[in-house]
Amino acid sequence: MGPEDEAWLKAAISLARRGEGGTRPNPPVGAVIVSKGRVVGRGWHRKAGGPHAEVSALRQAEARAKGATVYVTLEPCSTWGRTGPCTQALIEAGVGRVVFGVRDPNPKHQGAGVRVLRRAGIIVTEGAAEREAGELIKPFAKRMATGLPHLTLKMAMSLDGRIAQADGKSRWVSGPGTRAVVMDLRRRVDAVMVGSATVVKDDPRLLPETAGMRPWRVIVDSRGSTPLSARVLTDERAKDTVLATTSACPASRVRRYEALGARVWVLPGKAGKVALRPLMKRLGDEGALRVLCEGGGQLAASVIEAGLADEYLFFVAPKFLGALSLPVVGGGSWPLDSCPRLAFESIAMAGADVMLRAKPLAGRRG
Residue boundaries of the structural domains of the chain:
3-142, 147-365
User: 3-142 belongs to which homologous superfamily?
Assistant: Cytidine Deaminase, domain 2 (3.40.140.10)
Q: Compute φ and ψ for 184, nearest 5 degrees.
A: -65, -40
Instruction: Name the DSSP class of 19.
Output: G
CATH 3.30.365.10 fits domain 147-365: no
Give ∠ CA 258-262-264 in degrees, rounded to 5.
Answer: 70
251-276 pLDDT tens trace: 999 999 999 999 999 999 988 899 99
Helix H or strand E segment including 348: strand 340-350
pLDDT higher than threshold 70 for residue 365: no
Classify residue 268 by burial, with Cβ atoms within 10 Å: 0-12, 13-18, 19+.
Answer: exposed
pLDDT higher than threshold 70 for residue 6: yes
172-190 pLDDT tens trace: 899 999 999 999 999 999 9
Catalytic-residue membership of 54 = yes
Report whether 155 contacts 293 (CB < 8 A). no
Tell me which of 54, 75, 294, 311 is the catalytic residue. 54
Q: Give the pLDDT mean for 226-248.
A: 97
284-305 pLDDT tens trace: 999 999 999 998 899 999 999 9
The pLDDT score that the predictor gives to residue 168 is 82
User: What is the chain's length?
Assistant: 366
41 bridge partner residues? 33
Please state, as a whole number, how many other Cβ atoms lie within 10 Å of the Cβ of residue 146.
12
Provide CB contacts within 8 A for 167, sequence distance 6+.
none
Please state, as a whole number, how many other Cβ atoms lie within 10 Å of the Cβ of residue 135.
13
Please state, as a whole number, how many other Cβ atoms lie within 10 Å of the Cβ of residue 240.
20
124 bridge partner residues? 98
